[in-house]
Structure 1
């Protein structure tokens, strides 16, 4: 499993609208993508307007090719993109270990 980690910055004054949009977009658009396994969205306490979106994929290609190169990506960006102050910083991670 691959973890997509997206560091997103928005105007804190638009937080409520953004939170509704990101939850709607993730659950209705991204969730339909091949290889999607789940997502989490966290809001920073210390940095208003900073969010971390974590999406779990079966493979890296499920995200980078299957989703990013599909029409669904444009739909996703039309939902959340207007809130971005800058392009999100996106990285992909592999699990090394975890607690039980």
Structure 2
């Protein structure tokens, strides 16, 4: 399992619209992608127009190839992309330690 970390900055004053859109995108598009495990969206406290999208994938290839090169990615971006105030920074992480 890998974790995709997407740092999203949205236009000021669009929080409610963005949160509705990203929830819709998660529930209609992203959840159907091959290799998708789960996702969580976190809103910044100090910077309320900043969001972290954390997605667990079975592999980096499931995200970078299976999803990003599919028609579903264009659908996903059409839902959430209009809210972006800056390019989204995306990185992948793998676990090195855990405690439950």
2:19 maps to what in 1? 19
- SS of structure 1 residue aligned to 2:39: strand
2:99 maps to what in 1? 99
Please report the TM-score for the alignment, with normalisation by the length of structure 2.
0.98
Q: Number of aligned residue pairs: give it.
A: 100
The structural deviation recorded for 1:12 is 2.9
2:8 maps to what in 1? 8
Please report the TM-score for the alignment, with normalisation by the length of structure 1.
0.98
Which segments of structure 1 move beyond 3 Å, counting only runs of 4 or more? none
5 Å-filtered alignment, 1:21-100, equals 21-100=21-100
The structural deviation recorded for 1:5 is 0.3
Q: CA RMSD in A?
A: 0.6
The structural deviation recorded for 1:28 is 1.0
* 5+ residue gaps, structure 1: none
